[in-house]
Structure 1
Amino acid sequence: VNDGAETVKDFLRAFELAIAGQRLTLCTLPLVRFPLLDCLSLAECHSVRYVDVEGCGIEGGLMPLLSLPNLTYLDISNNKLRYLPVSLSQLEVLVRLFVDNNPLLIPSPSTSPLPWLRQTAQLLAGGELRLDGCNCGKLPSEDMLDDRELGVAVVKEVNLARNAISSFPSSFFSNWTASPFITSLDVSWNHISVLPKAMETLTSLVKLNASYNSIHTIDGEALLPLRYLEEVSFRSNELTSIPAQLGDLPRLLTIDCRDNTHLACPPPELHKDASACRQYVERVWRWTCTGHTHLNLDGISQLCSFPSHIL
């Protein structure tokens, strides 16, 4: 016992180690501290494809996990990792990597930017990149996103929530060849004030979550190429208007604009013009035409009532 916690050598008593078929899970016990995985031997576990070590207090020593040649799913979220080793490149068939809620330093100060992506040929091929809660602070500039080195051109789901991001580099999307393949983008709980026009390159986007930011402006023209967009959330921002171009998206089903206290709907200049008001509502909020689109406006302080002639 060391300060009330088990030592690393006693890891078998500190963890329930469960290997069932192709799945390996490590579950912490109360009052247990286990910072490293170096003592774990997985030499005979070549069939393991799914590894979950979420919330185990791990600080490093990931090499035993990186020795699994058939690993396709790795969840190392909610730990204490500061760095991700470049040896992740050994996981050639990995398609899902969860690293959210770790105090990661991105980019790493000791090696090239985002080394664990740059050195990996097939990392996340067709899968999900989740960096939720890693406090990146800022996104890498365009020179750090050369897909010829990254090899992540078919990433489909990107989660950058809770990273204190205030803006996107000018070419973050347009220089990233993964952009046309992304179907889900989560940038919620950041400090973003403007959605960039470069979002127009996300032509396969189905779901956009930009809630809990400081967004006051949405470039409506940048939304027009997003023909597959079905669900969008701008909840708890600082919007003053909803771009009419949203009404031109043929597959849009859900618009969440709750808790935008500066939002006037419809815009004030339309309140006195019956025909303009009707046209605006029918264009932006297509539920008047389709009957199935969901518009959530709870918490909008400046929306007192709709004129009776548009209902």
Structure 2
Amino acid sequence: MLYEQQQPMIKGSGSRGGMMEEERLEIVDLSAMSLDSLPNPSLNLATICKLDLSNNNLQNIPESLTARLLNLVVLDVHSNQLRTLPNSIGCLFKLKVLNVAGNLIEYLPKTIENCRSLEEVNANFNKLIQLPENIGMELRNLKKLSVNSNKLLFLPRSTSHLTSLRVLDVRLNCLRSLPEDLENLVNLEILNISQNFQFLRSLPYSIGFLLSLVELDISYNKITSLPTSIGCLKKLQKLCVDGNPLMSPPPEVMDQGLYAVKGYLCQKMNSPSPSSSSGNNNNNESSSPSSRKKKSSWVGKLVKYGTFGGGETRSSEEREAFIIPDYKPIDGLASPRYMGMFSPRRLFSPRNYFTN
């Protein structure tokens, strides 16, 4: 058991004499102690800023305990046997980091929406079926959301309101689709939707309006066509499409690297034709008048914001910069003892990256 005392946090009393009040915050480490239940605390819970209960055998966290952790900033309970989180987690108004990876959780409590200081949530390797419906409307400071290796069928529509989000990792789920209005994720840099296997068959056209996107991994799905809007992602440096039955762009274009792919898609967007969209029902670009109207409106937006990047002139060195680095997962925080839930073929499949 480790208790660490942080530097005193000084608060002004506002009095004329400049009276100051010192509040000493503690780090409490109870990790890897084979705990089945939590011991009675020997200190004031309101003085704890970080609580590590990871790698134990906890099946629940008392509501009364969580409600008194008023100054908690980091809560780490990964690799336990938790099936639920206490509803009183909504009392943790200062909480910034929540790690619940490697448990048996099916639902996050709706009260988590009250934790408006949250910047990072790691819920990998659980049994999540869905996320709270209004999670995106409330957690406006969230920068990283990792929910890989769960059973999610969809992401709530409010996800597109997470305007501070930089990393979204939803690989190894059962996603059928993504929210349509992804363009609101203006700070998103890394999007990993790989290994949803036979469930994910198309991408929304709005994916091309993620102006900050640097890495996109859609490998091991059932996607047959890339939306032409991807050709407008100026900052995109890595695109992984391995394991999809792609027909558009064709293989000979894919073999030339990311620059050629973006150029092909951009050209296709600039020169739409009824015949080019026939048979591509999975690309959300049907030949119906309503679809063509929707597509035209997107083209107007992309031109307005100057996001066309496929046709710009580049040096021969940039065009030839096509490498295949080793695959590196976004998040390695999940407990290694849960890796056995998946076969090596699924987790260690070779990746092909296109890079500028």
Q: Matches of residues 120-199 of structure 1 in structure 2 within 5 Å?
A: 120=114, 123-140=115-132, 144-145=133-134, 151-169=138-156, 171-174=157-160, 177=161, 179-199=162-182
Whichever residue aligns with residue 202 of structure 2, its letter is T
Q: Which residue of 2 aligns with 1:115?
A: 110
Contact 1:259 1:297 in 2 (8 A): no
Deviates more, 1:237-246 or 1:185-194: 237-246
Instruction: Provide TM-score, normalisation by structure 1.
Output: 0.69
**CA offsets, 1:17-38, max 9 Å, x none?**
1112343222335xx4x2211x
Extract unaligned runs of 5+ from structure 1: 1-16, 108-113, 304-311
* Distance (Å, rounded) in 2 between the aligned partners of 1:138 and 1:146: 11
Helix, strand or coil at the partner of 2:186: coil
Please show how residues 197-276 of structure 1 align to structure 2 within 5 Å: 197-214=180-197, 215-219=200-204, 221-260=205-244, 262-264=245-247, 266-267=249-250
Take 1:270 and 1:230, find their aligned partners in 2: how far apart are those partners?
A: 20
Per the TM alignment, residue 287 of structure 1 is displaced from its structure 2 partner at its CA by: 11
1:61-80 alignment, distance < 5 Å: 61-62=61-62, 63-64=64-65, 66-80=67-81
Is the contact made by 2:229 and 2:265 (CA closer than 8 Å) also made in structure 1? no
Structure 2 unaligned residues grouped into runs of 5+: 6-25, 255-259, 268-308, 327-348
Aligned residue runs from structure 1 range 89-100, under 5 A:
89-100=90-101
RMSD over equivalenced CA pairs, Å: 3.7
Change over 3 Å in CA distance of 1:68–1:146 after alignment to 2: closer
Q: Report how far residue 196 of structure 1 moved.
A: 3.3
Contact 2:36 2:58 in 1 (8 A): yes
CA distance 1:212–1:18, change in 2 (3 Å):
same
The correspondence of residues 272-291 of structure 1 with structure 2, limited to 5 A, is: 279-280=263-264, 289=314, 291=318
Letter in 2 for 1:173: T
Calculate percent identity across the aligned residue pairs. Answer: 23
Query: TM-score with structure 2 length normalisation?
Result: 0.61
Report if the CA contact (8 A) 1:189-1:213 is conserved: yes
